[in-house]
Structure 1
């Protein structure tokens, strides 16, 4: 039976499912003075309620992965959504016309949680109801939540105010209640130091009941991500951001490049690796299979990898299932050695998290809404099964007039079925776990009542087909769907159900790629103390060390590691790591921020979005696969889109707050 997760338990126990969160914030009637605060934290029930409110601020507009109403930053240059009037909301987002609630609610939610956590950290004391160890763990959880909220703010808004350690005294004058932005480096360093303090009192592992509470690894991984962002081009020697200042004219983004920041980021990632708690998840090879779980498709023979077991090779693993099961609900949280931090399974409604994302991807015949998909750019990014880059012209030349899989060719082109375009053949396993190409099979097998025989069906996106172009917004303007997060059993109609998914906010593959990226940027050698000071990391651009991080990610995916000439060239390896992150971390709320921190967004986010020709009917199917610009998915990028804006009400209240570059200040 699946474990219940702590956020659900805490909220249910505190009555937050029946009372609004805003009402719970009004707990001042419990603590009108210092003595009342101490009474709160001498009650186990009140303490759990207090902590539950802190955790609650990690949900809704602060979710990592979810529906566009709450997690709009999932949609970088690789994904799109079509609901909201044939993609009108998507176009507004891609042109920087951000919805007020996106940026206002995330800001207010985060600072509400920061305030609540700060009170707990500074008020809860030893010698009462709880043992000293319990007090330390409660404080560590609150400290983690507070620092994590600052991390979410840093990614979205850039430099933000770090509030006083003991909270805000609301009896002060208005002028003294105004706080300026801290610099980007100050916020990143604060997150780093706070996560070190939290890590000291957080456990290495959690039991099933507490799986969504943070661990030492979660604290150190968040620290590594904050330091990586501080090392990246957006925040490290970025003279373009000299205009981003506080109310006194202090520049908030570092104007001098520091290579040592990359070394610190690499050492922080190494701290996570050296815990020896996490590893990449792999599924065992299957010689026989079912419709839902087919037999393993063995990658093309490679003398270096085909005869060795993981992590040196793929002889004993199923690369497709190793990747797919991470996201689709087949793998329970407690079974996933790759998961570092999660909010659990508490986003199972149709409005918020992974369940909502999944249903918007699913075809209408399965009770889905068929309006989230992928760009052609993302589809083409997946390599061939032997690791070579996808090349459309080469494939068209190879198959000529025989571009559709014939019934007699099905065994040759697994997992493709008949009538599928051969551009989708012989692609790497992550392609089939992520891309719902035209003609892909949707198994939808949980249906118990199937009057229309709507299980185990090929879905084509030609005009006139059930899931093809229609009036309204339940169709895919690029003609390419999204399979990641979808379970083979998922079916919201005919008596079926959508299986719960464990949201994975941070996972080990990300840490490995971060470590490799940071090492690759170094030209010198550095000695960086470990997080707890017990050892010193010798950090340099060591090709063997970089390979140890990248190789298992690629081998798990069933594709060969890079050749030595790629590792030898810094620029070539940088581009390869960026490409690997685009594939491996699709739809995990990474690429939106990656493109910005790399300063690649002005090019990548402004490119014309291409897809297939969705005006074409099945009778002229070959014409469907002619890449064309998608007029419904316009995009652009400007300076203001590096950071989210501060809303007018916040600027009015806080006279020392400055607006992010490019956004109106309302002066």
Structure 2
């Protein structure tokens, strides 16, 4: 059995008990244990640590994760108020600090406090210390909690910007709201990033280097590789335009005047980010996953698809063993197999994928055609497919189910997905249809079948090597434009996807555009695009205005041309303040030293 995150009911009480009157604890109910017992028994201590793990984002579940539905890559179908799909309201601009949408501030701080309490008390466990490797185990557990705490701080920073660093002393739970410990200002962004990096660096040496250094029953525990991957993301965020000399946040200051976003651009931040990614490239044995197809030859489609399907492969840095992938698979499956078709891909993302020859759809010589239907079979596109979807690069077919595409699981025969109005996954008579005419397909196992409630259990990939390569070349292009590593690693990613090298001799701006494009396509539907458009400060151009798909209100057969018309399915609103989430109003009311993000 793989390592699992085990939330236990007593743990909620355990984090409160230290603050209670001790006389009240003289008698412990039969279904509760005291916090002292938690740190006296090995199984309870380990369960407490497992509970800290349980806060790790489970972004495969569309209800609780906004990152795809609020990006320009995707749409969450359910466009009705009060349905619980809050990306609909946020995309239309109908939210404020009191809306409490996707309030990770509060939940991550709960995890941070639990981690700090664990670090302070795990040394008390004599039962663990009595083991032959007891002291090493204690050190490892503390390092896991420290690294988790740093990761949760990073998750807060990427969503809200500068946060409050609580330090290593747990805050008692019985303090009055006026207590000094409850009135804390935000730390600056530079302080937050430096703290996160320092904590990850401190934890890493006490952890196994890679999951292959662990028993397979402990896959999912943190490793040095996890720490380095979080460090890479955090430093890339800090170097990006959103936080690196952004004058839009000149007035974002604490009440004592402390500047929260440094107003001076620092190219060295890009170098730090590049160095952190390079450390993973040279210090570990990761590689891009490659898989052979029929005849034993390299298959770009299977390689880019099955990097998520084949567990713990050479590209996986960290994966979450317990997850909601079955919910994702049903959401990303057509109604013809009892799926919800709830995660729709936008026309903007469809247009981003290149042709099989490596040219963009607007480039001369690409061969792109947006009229008529194919007269012969093509890989992944049967005869009669609308020409827009023919001869696209392999990653297009990994990511997108389009009108007329065969469903990924052929065990019950080849089934063509129909997203036109009266089709088997169309709008007529159901909420379960893609508003764009396209369904997300990535990370759906080819043996899964929602109709039979059959889902293949596997880990959810959180960090993979392709992202680290993209982090590296993006940062390097800003710190050292023209460095040969930029084209080298960009082309490695493209070649794995079956595409040719980029043209040689590109300048910094041209290479930046290539890297941004490659990042969007390679990491599509992996909860990255939302943060990328914001840290690049381009979301005002990408995330507002008309969003397009096909005409899902028309069509009675696959070849009805009226369906294949670029149609506005939603007009989104993106205001400058949306670059950062608002700190929840409940938190603002609790801490008078908190200052709200600009514009909220």
TM-score greater than 0.5 by the shorter chain: yes
Aligned ranges for residues 216-255 of structure 1 at < 5 Å?
216-255=224-263
Is 1:268 the counterpart of 2:276? The answer is: yes
**Consecutive unaligned residues in structure 2, runs of 5 or more:** 24-33
**1:629 aligns to what?**
568
Partner of 2:348: 377
Q: What corresponds to 1:614 in structure 2?
A: 552
Among 374, 386, 397, which residue is 1:421 paired with?
Answer: 386
Equivalent residue in structure 1 for 2:587, among 634, 639, 650: 650
Contact 2:380/2:406 (CA < 8 Å) preserved in 1?
A: no
Does the alignment pair 1:488 with 2:488? no
Residue 501 to residue 607, structure 1, CA distance change in 2 (3 Å): farther
| Preserved contact between residue 70 and residue 102 of structure 1 (Cα < 8 Å) | no
Residue aligning to 2:144: 141
Alpha-carbon separation, structure 2, partners of 1:603 and 1:597: 13
Cα deviation 1:477-499 (Å, max 9, x = unaligned): 21112111122222111x35122
Structure-1 separation of matches of 2:197 and 2:589: 31
Match of 1:604 in 2: 542
Deviation (angstroms), 1:178: 1.1
- The CA distance in 2 between the partners of 1:473 and 1:634, in whole Å, is 20
The question of whether the paired residues in 2 share the 8 Å contact of 1:120 and 1:142 is answered with yes
How far the C-alpha of 1:81 sits from its partner, in A, is 1.0
- Which residue does the alignment assign to 1:291? none
Question: For each residue in 1:259-290, what CA deviation from the matched residue of structure 2 results, as whole angstroms up to 9, or x when unmatched?
Answer: 000000101111111222311111113238xx
What's the CA shift string for 1:18-60, capped at 9, x where partnerless?
x386456445499969xx86764342112102201211222xx
Cα distance in 2 for residues equivalent to 1:165 and 1:24: 18
Cα distance between partner residues in 2 of 1:134 and 1:444:
44
**Residue 420 of structure 2 aligns with which residue?**
462
Tell me which residue corresponds to 1:332.
Answer: 311
SS for the counterpart of 1:121 is: helix
Asked whether the equivalents of residues 80 and 88 of structure 2 are also in contact (C-alpha less than 8 Å), the reply is: no
How many equivalent pairs are there?
575
1:528 alignment partner in structure 2: none
Is contact 2:103–2:584 with CA below 8 Å preserved after alignment? no
RMSD: 2.6
Q: What displacement does 1:139 show?
A: 0.6
SS in 2 for 1:153: helix
Q: Which residue number corresponds to residue 389 of structure 1?
A: 360
Structure 1 position 431, deviation (Å): 0.6
Partner of 1:404: 373
For the structure 1 residues 398 and 429, does the alpha-carbon distance in structure 2 shift closer, same or farther, using more than 3 Å as the test? closer
Please state how far the C-alpha of 1:397 moved relative to its aligned partner: 8.5
Q: State the match for 2:477 in structure 1.
A: 520
Residue in 1 that maps onto 2:118:
120
- CA displacement at 1:501 relative to structure 2: 3.9
**Residue 657 to residue 419, structure 1, CA distance change in 2 (3 Å):** same
For the structure 1 residues 268 and 611, does the alpha-carbon distance in structure 2 shift closer, same or farther, using more than 3 Å as the test? same
Deviation by residue 1:173-212 (Cα, 9 ceiling, x = unmatched): 6240211111111111111000000111111123321111
TM-score (norm 1): 0.81
CA 1:258–1:443 in structure 2 vs 1: closer, same or farther (change >3 Å)? closer
Q: Is the 8 A contact 2:19 2:174 kept in 1?
A: no
Aligned partners of 1:224 and 1:269 also within 8 Å:
yes
How much does 1:394 deviate?
7.9
CA distance in 2, matches of 1:153, 1:604: 23
Q: Distance in 1 between matches of 2:401 and 2:154?
A: 33
Closer, same or farther: CA 422–398 of 1 in aligned 2, 3 Å: closer
Q: CA contact under 8 A between 1:485 and 1:501: conserved in structure 2?
A: no
Shift of residue 587, structure 1, vs aligned partner? 1.1
Q: CA deviation at 1:146?
A: 0.4
- Counterpart Cα distance in 2 of 1:278 and 1:42: 39
Give the structure 2 partner of residue 168 of structure 1.
Answer: 171
- Tell me: CA distance 1:104–1:475, structure 2 relative to 1, closer, same or farther (3 Å): closer
Q: Compared with structure 1, are the counterparts of its residues 438 and 392 closer, same or farther at alpha carbon in structure 2 (3 Å cutoff)?
A: farther
The answer to whether the 8 Å contact 1:125/1:135 transfers is yes
Structure 2 counterpart of 1:293 = none
Please name the residue that 2:502 is paired with. 562
Q: Give the counterpart of 2:65 among 62, 71, 74.
A: 71
Q: 1:241-390 alignment to 2 at 5 Å?
A: 241-287=249-295, 316-327=297-308, 330-333=309-312, 336-344=313-321, 346-347=322-323, 353-390=324-361
| Pair 1:549-2:489 in alignment | yes
Q: Deviations over 1:500-555 (max 9, x none)?
A: 24211111100000000001002xxxxxxxxxxxxxxxxx4453111232121111
> Which position in structure 2 is the counterpart of 1:132?
135
For residue 255 of structure 1, report the CA deviation from its aligned partner.
Answer: 0.3
Which residue does the alignment assign to 1:503?
460
Q: How big is each residue's C-alpha offset from its partner over 1:332-380, in whole Å with a ceiling of 9 and x where there is no partner? A: 23xx111112221x12xxxxx3322221121112111122110001001
Structure 2 matches for 1:203-222, cutoff 5 A?
Answer: 203-206=208-211, 207-222=215-230
CA distance in 1, matches of 2:243, 2:536: 9
Structure 1 unmatched ranges of 5 or more: 289-315, 348-352, 447-453, 523-539
The correspondence for 2:397, drawn from 414, 432, 439, is 432
How far apart are the structure 1 equivalents of 2:310 and 2:21? 43
SS in 2 for 1:656: coil
CA contact (8 A) 1:30 1:37 kept: no
Distance 1:396-1:421 versus aligned 2 partners, 3 A rule: farther
Distance in 1, matches of 2:369 and 2:137, equals 66
Q: Is the 8 A contact 2:183 2:591 kept in 1?
A: yes
